[in-house]
Structure 1
Amino acid sequence: MTQYPPYPQSSQPPYQQPQQSGNLSYGNLPPQDRESLGSWVLVTFIMFIPLVNVIYMLVLAFGSGTSIAKRNFARASLIWMAVGIVLSIVMFMLLAAMGASFFNEISNTYGLLAF
């Protein structure tokens, strides 16, 4: 019978729930996950500024030192921005084709323009 090496034991202490005494306690959270309301207000404010929001979302999504929540929020926002841009381009092309077709039909029907 084959002898396997023993399973390595973790040196970390077991997880304990932080004691809350009426106020919010960040307890055992790492420093980058201790976010304040003000940091989220800043993120939503920057989202209203054109072009700056894209740059800021790229920094949050792919930079280091940001919390997991903000990183996931930035990645989701970038995905929705890309979807919006693609849909806007498709709609522009459809409306341009419809406008050209309408203009061509009007010019052929009423003979306004002679090519």
Structure 2
Amino acid sequence: MSYPQYQQQHLPPSNLPQQHGGYAPQQEATDGLGSWVLTTFLMFIPLVNIIYLLVLAFGGSNSLAKRNFARATLIWMLVSFVLAIIVAIVLATAGVSIFNELSNSYSTNYAY
């Protein structure tokens, strides 16, 4: 039984960047499960989480995934902090106005 001979087809050049220099691109090591467990554990500790996120976000020796995770988490923390301040101001002004209305509605004239 004879098998047909296949010839290699020459594909047109793609738009992808070509490798130059004869070396393979450096592949980034993926983070293991233990590294992510430690990261999520440290996120539960107040103040330590902010320091750890700053180190991950702006330190140079971490993986790209953790760097992006830290930057996104810091952005969400900042947004939630600003929203909490706005809500606190609105509730404080509403509380002051309610207190003023209640104090003005009762008469201080106790003449019998």
- Normalization by structure 2: what TM-score? 0.74
Change (3 A) 1:82 1:40: same
Tell me the residue number matched to 1:83.
79
Number of the residue aligned with 1:70: 66
How far 1:111 moved relative to its partner? 3.2
Q: CA deviation at 1:14?
A: 6.1
- The worse-fitting range, judged by mean Cα deviation, of 33-42 and 59-68 is 33-42
Unpaired runs of at least 5, structure 2: 1-18
2:103 is equivalent to residue 107 of structure 1:
yes
How far off is 1:11 after superposition? 1.2
- Give the TM-score normalised by structure 1: 0.72
Q: Distance in 2 between matches of 1:44 and 1:101?
A: 42
Cα deviation code 1:44-81 (max 9, x no counterpart): 11111111100000000000110000000000000000
* Count of residues in Structure 1 that have an aligned counterpart in Structure 2: 91
Uncovered stretches (5+) of structure 1, i.e. residues with no partner = 1-8, 16-27
In structure 2, the partner of 1:51 is 47
Structure 1 residue runs of 4 or more that deviate by more than 4 Å after TM superposition: none
Amino acid at match of 1:62: F
1:97 Cα deviation (Å)?
A: 0.3
Cα distance in 2 for residues equivalent to 1:44 and 1:62? 18
RMSD: 2.1
Aligned to 1:92: 88
